[in-house]
């Protein structure tokens, strides 16, 4: 592989790794931002879990002013909940769409965020090594083919007094 192309591919992979790391950092930072918003004006109520899937849990709860809320994007940190369950929910009083089960915090986002970054860098690293290995093998194969082609010439060459290679004249035995 051309060294310029190899370098560009590896730089592209480096950009992908940095982007994945930035996304993982943003995930964790966003969770801490949401938690600080909840902590700034925390209210606690009982809520009923109305639906659960792998990534979301929808709940209904009534605030002290009598209005019913179901957070648009579900609860933060929705693991280990089941439909029909009644749970205690902490929410931001000024924004009831920002809610989480009581006792759960942004600390739960650190392991997933780090795992995304680590797995991303492992994949990027393996791809970089693969590109380098592919390039090394291709260059070695090309060098072997070039040396084999140079060694299989039928007409031997010698250098004349100017240092340039010339074909030897063959003298016939007649």
CATH number at residue 54: 2.40.50.100
Q: How far is CA 30 from CA 22, 92, 136, in A?
A: 12, 15, 43
The residue segments making up the domain with residue 19 are 3-111
Domain count, the chain: 1
- Mean pLDDT value across residues 77-87: 92
Residue 153: the pLDDT is 56
106 or 154, higher pLDDT = 106
**Domain assignment present for 92:** yes
């Amino acid at each position: 592989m051309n060294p310029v192309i190899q370098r560009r591919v590896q730089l592209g992979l480096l950009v992908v790794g940095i982007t994945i790391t930035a996304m993982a950092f943003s995930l964790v930072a966003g969770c801490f931002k949401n938690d600080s918003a909840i902590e700034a004006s925390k209210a606690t109520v009982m809520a009923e879990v109305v639906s659960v899937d792998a990534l979301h849990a929808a709940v209904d709860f009534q605030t002290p002013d009598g209005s019913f809320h179901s957070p648009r994007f579900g609860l933060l940190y929705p693991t280990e909940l089941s439909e029909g369950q009644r749970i205690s929910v902490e929410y931001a009083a000024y924004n009831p769409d920002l809610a989480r089960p009581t006792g759960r915090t942004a600390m739960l986002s650190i392991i997933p965020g780090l795992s995304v970054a680590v797995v991303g860098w492992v994949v990027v690293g393996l791809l970089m090594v693969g590109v380098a290995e592919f390039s090394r093998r291709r260059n070695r194969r090309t060098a072997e083919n070039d040396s084999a082609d140079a060694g299989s010439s039928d007409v031997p060459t010698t250098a004349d007094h100017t240092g340039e290679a010339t074909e030897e004249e063959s003298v016939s035995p007649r």
